[in-house]
Chain A
């Protein structure tokens, strides 16, 4: 393989693997910026993947090839509804957010596998008939070098993910809503004093994370796995959290980190065919995102510090 061929192989694959991480990571940013630890996004992705596959399988006859739009939308709504459990426990019932996240992950996996067995009498679903297909962006894909690198064989969801990241940056940093969201995560007492409804903002933050993580899960099911089983989502939610931390809780930072972790995943999966990369033991590429995250938190690569009030329930009248 020539160097150029290697690039044309790696970059689109990295973007593909990064896409669900971007959706979920951005979702996690919204939740954590509001002060609710986003450990449950792994489970919300599981819900999204399952609902997406279910809708795709059941409504393919009605909507044909374009059924995946409905599937993605249903997955987003399902993720949002499921995240309400998280919000109710963590915000209203003042439960420990880490424990709640772990429980949500467990509950999501159990509910979906239970449903698959109930609906289909087997451990995994059939392959979906209408996965998301690749396409060439008109005009742009004819540009030499950049065309084949970025604009040929792309998934529409990758472009949407990019748009979501930019929109998230705008919403969080340039709108009154974003300011309130950040205030609630940094200093809820001060925010409350200024008349911001802390509980409501946190509910919204968590629900946005559910919406986006649902899409993230469905994207994996619609591009990489094409079916749903207990192992469809295996740690991508946590890599998304890692991307959020590595991106220092900033939407564009998260976007960059997600792309980088997507690259690491691509190399660990397809690296054995690429010169030079194949000499690196696979395990190093597999653990790269996790180890880098620890380094980032330890301050070796610029200190990553989360929202100040993350993980603490807000109790009115308590100092």
Chain B
């Protein structure tokens, strides 16, 4: 069996097992899995409104997935997407509400601010790793919580003790009435175009530029890259910063598209952590991330229909997603299994 086929089969088998175990969990808990999955299906594709909102949910998932995937490709584990996303969210909302500018300038400016804020938060991680050899997983987890408390505190300060910023004006919003009209007034917004563009950007950087080649080389083998004359430190910092740009933009999607403001949060949005799942399922390729985000984003949104339509708690979908990650991460076992299967066939 070819390597390429195995690479595609591992996530597919994981998804199938994940959904099957989800059905068993529902059955054991006394729920009807058929009703559950049909409610899920209806929640995603049931009508134009659901489809619109599913796409809205997929949008930040694509960007968060790209952020994780980009870092993975360069040998780094960006578990700090959540914090970078929060910084981007706040920056976009702040630029969105603090200035009065024509839309052609205001909207790109707000997006840029989000990208810069996310990039800065990730730069810190890259710098700590390059300069002081601090493992990026630990520093970015610590910075996640730092970001949560810092953004909450800033929102409280700029709103004089309020719990959310003003709504972003029409000049900075990602919403577009036409998109809402064709999807029965869903909250779908233009962000999906930004996200798709970023899929192309990631592909272009990694596959078509010298810099991308260097970044990947450092990811593959630091010593070889160093020996070939590449600056490992510079590339680590740059890789984290670019990853942070994607994460910051994911925050902008929430600030300028979905919620139209930034509010004080009791906990994380979860998008950053789901981004890890998306990247893993998509094997860290831009196109794979797109598929991964489409699956997990629509599952997450469709799940909201499950309590009403079938009486099943929506957390069942989070159980399924977590199982899929565990299975993809344990891909070694599935590979061994596939190899044995194909050997048996050959023997026959």
Asked if B142 and A293 sit within 8 Å, CB to CB, the answer is yes
Interchain nearest-CB distance for B152 vs A (Å): 8
User: Contact check: which of B30, B139, B325, B329 meets A294 at CB < 8 Å?
Assistant: B139
Indicate if the CB atoms of B142 and A242 lie closer than 8 Å.
yes
Residue pair B315, A298 in contact (C-beta under 8 Å): no
In the complex, A103 Cα to B325 Cα: how many Å? Answer: 6
Contact A100 B153 (CB under 8 A): no
- B residues 17-56 touching A (CB-CB < 8 Å): 25, 29-30
Annotate A107-146 by CB proximity to B: 1 below 8 A, 0 otherwise.
Answer: 1011101100110000000000000000000000000000
The reply to whether the CB of A3 lies closer than 8 angstroms to some CB of chain B is no
- Majority secondary structure of chain B interface residues (helix, strand, loop or mixed): helix
Chain B residues near A293: list those with CB within 8 A: 138, 142
Q: Which residues of A contact B267 (CB under 8 A)?
A: 231, 234-235
Is A275's beta carbon under 8 Å from chain B? no
Q: How far is the CA of A175 from the CA of B145 in the complex (A)?
A: 37
A103 touching B326, Cβ below 8 Å? yes
With both chains docked as a complex, state the minimum distance between the C-beta of B228 and any C-beta of chain A, in angstroms.
24
Contact A89 B143 (CB under 8 A): no
Given A94-B332, A95-B326, A102-B276, CB of A234 within 8 Å of CB of B29: no
A104 CA / B142 CA spacing, docked (Å):
19
Count of A interface residues, CB-CB < 8 Å:
44
A224 at interface by CB-CB < 8 Å:
no
- Asked if B201 is an interface residue, CB under 8 A from chain A, the answer is no
In the bound assembly, the distance between CA atoms of A117 and B26 in angstroms comes to 13
From the candidates B146, B150, B280, B323, name the one contacting A107 in the complex (CB within 8 A): B323
Is the CB–CB distance between B322 and A291 below 8 Å? no
Q: CB within 8 A of A297: which of B139, B319, B323?
A: B139
User: What are the residues of chain A within 8 A of B29 when measuring CB–CB?
Assistant: 114, 118
CB atoms of B315 and A294 under 8 A apart: no
Contact among A89, A109, A298 for B132, CB-based, below 8 A: A298
A98 contacts B138, CB within 8 Å?
A: no
Q: Among residues 233 to 247 in chain A, which have CB atoms less than 8 Å away from a CB atom of chain B?
A: 234-235, 238, 241-242, 245
Question: Smallest Cβ distance from B81 to chain A, in angstroms?
Answer: 11
Mask, B147-160, CB within 8 Å of A = 1, is 00110110000000
How far, in whole Å, are A89 and B138 apart by their CA atoms in the complex?
A: 21
Q: Is A302 an interface residue (CB 8 A)?
A: no
Given known A114-B316, A242-B142, contact A286–B332 (CB-CB < 8 A): no
B225 within 8 A of A: no
Contact A98 B146 (CB under 8 A): no
- Quick one: CB contact mask for B286-324 with A, threshold 8 Å, 1 for yes? 000000000000000000000000000101101101110
- Asked if A283 contacts B149 (CB within 8 A), the reply is yes
Report whether B137 and A98 are in contact in the complex, using a CB–CB cutoff of 8 Å.
yes
User: A290: CB under 8 A from chain B?
Assistant: yes
B266–A99 CB distance below 8 A: no
Nearest-neighbour CB distance to chain B for A99, whole angstroms, equals 4
Query: In the complex, which residues of chain A have a beta carbon less than 8 angstroms from the beta carbon of B16?
Result: none
Which residues does chain B contribute within 8 Å of A111, judged by CB atoms? 315, 319
Q: A283-B153, A290-B142, A298-B128 are in contact. Are A117 and B326 (CB under 8 A)?
A: no
Q: Which residues of A does B touch, CB under 8 Å? A: 37, 39, 85, 89, 93-96, 98-100, 102-107, 109-111, 113-114, 117-118, 231, 234-235, 238, 241-242, 245, 281-283, 286-287, 290-291, 293-294, 297-299, 306
- Nearest 3 A-B pairs (CB), nearest first? A110-B318, A107-B322, A93-B330
Apart from the given pairs A95-B330, A234-B266, 20 other A-B contacts in the complex at a CB distance below 8 Å: A85-B326, A93-B330, A95-B331, A99-B325, A100-B329, A102-B325, A103-B323, A103-B329, A104-B322, A105-B273, A110-B316, A114-B25, A114-B29, A118-B313, A234-B267, A235-B267, A294-B128, A294-B138, A294-B143, A299-B132
